[in-house]
Amino acid sequence: MATAEVLAPLDQPDDEPSGPRRGKLSPLARYLLTRLALLIPMVWVLVTMVFLLMRVIGDPIQAALGGRLTADQIAERKADAGLDRPILVQYWEYLTGLFRGDFGTTLTDNRKVSDILVQNGAATLELAFWSIIVAFVVGVPLGRLAARYRDRWPDVLLRLFSILVYAAPVFFVGLLLKLAFAPFGWPSSGRASISNELILQDVHPKTNIMIIDAILWGDPAIIGDVLKHALLPALALGLLTGGVFLRLVRVNLLQTLRMDYVTAARARGISERRVMNKHAFRNALVPVVTVMGLQIALLLGGAILTETTFEWKGLGYQLSEYLIKRDFLAVQGIVTLIALIVGAVSFFIDVIVAFVDPRVRF
């Protein structure tokens, strides 16, 4: 991939002094500040687009409450929600609301969007975490295997597998998994069995991240139950990213193996296993971390379908519910939240990459 071509091997000596110079910011600090500065316009563009798109698709009050209220009542609701004011005034109020952490209130059930984040965001976070693990566990070793057997039948099969899991719609994979596992009693919906969910409501402090709550409760049977419930949704969503990781690791590994320093290592008589493990494989993994940041957005998008398929009541599930009810104020709030999460995660990944790979900060 292009990323790998740009990057030089990490094991090569670094001629540049990496420590901070007196009176100047260190390269790392400069890099992070630049990234942070770029984050602000990115988030601004995102939230502005969400705001404009929600206005383009029509009047949210009419969409949510049309047919249930008279024209006068609709007009009253519009005034209450400030939708009768000039668009610039609405935009200003929307932005200042975001600064205050106010993402608005849903039209159909009067919930604060920030409350939805607290109650449902943790579920999405947990699903994304399990999915990334699946993606790593599936993508990295299989990518390595494919590179090792380049153009032989294991490679061909694995490349085909990666295309299949990437191309297959996540709800379809989810449905297949349910049909395959449910007859054997494997749980196919929810985040834990009903009685365990009830038990975990008593955990203090409650994180809403089911596995952490289960660990805090300390019953191995409940931990096992939570893991069992997470397996199918994590597989459905994780395989999507796993396919990307597989191809990425394969291509990067093949390119790294052709580089001069690897040839030099081989010339020094270092064993092929050591060349692969110590010199090539680690470098091939760096772009995976970068791509992982991009995949977060994909995961959150996929979470809408995965959460609905598996009754995983996270942000994606709530978003689909409000879309069905045409509660566009709720949709606006949740999409803005997701946009902010994607922005924050991108920044976080940039920070990790900067620490892992010193070249990016120069």
Q: Which positions touch another protein (CB under 8 A)?
A: 10, 62-63, 65-69, 73, 77, 107-111, 119, 133-134, 136-137, 140-141, 178, 182, 184-190, 193-198, 201-202, 220-221, 223-225, 227-228, 230-231, 277, 282-283, 285, 307-311, 313, 317, 320-321, 326, 356
Q: Least CB distance from residue 159 to another protein, whole Å?
A: 21
Q: Least CB distance from residue 275 to another protein, whole Å?
A: 14
- Closer residue to another protein in complex, CB, 140/341: 140
Question: What's the CA gap between 284 and 255, in Å, rounded?
Answer: 8
Mark residue 113 as left, alpha or beta (left: phi above 0; alpha: psi -120 to 50; beta: remaining): alpha
- Closer residue to another protein in complex, CB, 135/339: 135
- Closer residue to another protein in complex, CB, 44/355: 355
Q: Least CB distance from residue 317 to another protein, whole Å?
A: 6
Question: What's the CA gap between 258 and 30, in Å, rounded?
Answer: 33
- Closer residue to another protein in complex, CB, 108/207: 108
Q: Least CB distance from residue 10 to another protein, whole Å?
A: 6
Q: Least CB distance from residue 182 to another protein, whole Å?
A: 6
Look up tokens 């110590």; give the residue. Answer: 278
Q: Least CB distance from residue 228 to another protein, whole Å?
A: 4
SS3 assignment, position 260: helix
Q: Least CB distance from residue 246 to another protein, whole Å?
A: 14
Whether residue 205 is preceded by a cis peptide bond, meaning omega within 30 degrees of 0, is yes
Question: What's the CA gap between 17 and 349, in Å, rounded?
Answer: 24
- Closer residue to another protein in complex, CB, 64/339: 64
Cross-strand bridge partners of residue 66: 69
- Closer residue to another protein in complex, CB, 110/153: 110
CB atoms within 10 A of CB 311: 14
Look up tokens 């990425």; give the residue. Answer: 248
Q: How far is CA 27 from CA 8, 328, 355, in A?
A: 18, 44, 11
And the tokens for 208? 């809403």
Q: Least CB distance from residue 89 to another protein, whole Å?
A: 24
- Closer residue to another protein in complex, CB, 19/183: 183
State the DSSP string of 218-266: T-HHHHHHHHHHHHHHHHHHHHHHHHHHHHHHHHHHHHHHTSHHHHHHH
Nearest 5°: phi and psi at 190?
85, 175
Torsion of CA 277, 278, 281, 287, to 10 degrees: 160
- Closer residue to another protein in complex, CB, 225/350: 225
Q: Least CB distance from residue 250 to another protein, whole Å?
A: 16
CB atoms within 10 A of CB 123: 22
And the tokens for 205? 């402090």
- Closer residue to another protein in complex, CB, 43/123: 123
Which residue from 310, 309, 303 is spatially nearest to 238, judged by alpha carbons? Answer: 303
